[in-house]
Structure 1
Amino acid sequence: MLQPKFKLQAKKRTLYLCQAIFLTWTKILMSISVVLIAAMVIVFAVIMVDMARLKLRQRKLMREN
């Protein structure tokens, strides 16, 4: 009687362990992806600001000439 119950408990334990590992990995991957998206947005904003500055500088040079 004791053996099947023990096997069931072991199965449950491994299932919970797998779930915990899966959840932690998904959390880690989600945080990494969020950080990467934020970095991409910041880089994009910096590039756009640089382009705007270059355009303004070109307009100034055109006016002086």
Structure 2
Amino acid sequence: MRANSLPEAAWRKSTYSSDNGGACVEVVDGLSAVPVRDSKNKEGAALVVSPSAWASFVNSVK
């Protein structure tokens, strides 16, 4: 999926992303799936995963 195919989406930077311009991940809340994109490439591809897969990933990297 292309991130720009969600023009109305309210992307937010993940609270686990750094503020130094490096590893920044943005996600969209409130959908039936969780789109994830690189904040440095807003027009690039978005990875779309299930909410349970996203929760499992976040818990694994904590």
Alignment TM class, shorter chain as reference: under 0.3
Structure label with greater radius of gyration: 1
Which of the pair is proportionally richer in helix?
1
- Structure whose residues are more often strand by fraction: 2
Taking CA–CA contacts closer than 8 Å with sequence separation of 6 or more, which of the two structures ends up with the larger relative contact order? 2
